[in-house]
Amino acid sequence: MLARKSGRIINVASVAAFANRGSYSAAKAWQVSFSRWANTAYAGSGVKVTAVCPGFTHTEFHDRMGMDKSVAPRFLWLNAERVVREGLEDNAKGKGISIPSKRYKAITAVMRFLPAKLTSGPPRLAAKQSGSAK
Residues facing 58 on adjacent strands: 79
Residue type, 67: M
CA angle 15, 80, 13 (to 5 degrees): 30
Is the Cα dihedral 25, 30, 33, 36 positive or negative?
Answer: negative
Q: How many helices (H) and strands (E) does the chain have?
A: 6, 5
Our answer to whether residue 104 is catalytic in this structure is: no
Task: Kindly state the DSSP code that residue 47 receives in the 8-state scheme.
Answer: E
Considering the candidates 24, 37, 61, 77, report the single residue annotated as catalytic: 24
Q: How far apart are CA 15 and CA 83, in angstroms?
A: 12
Query: What amino acid positions are annotated as catalytic residues?
Result: 24
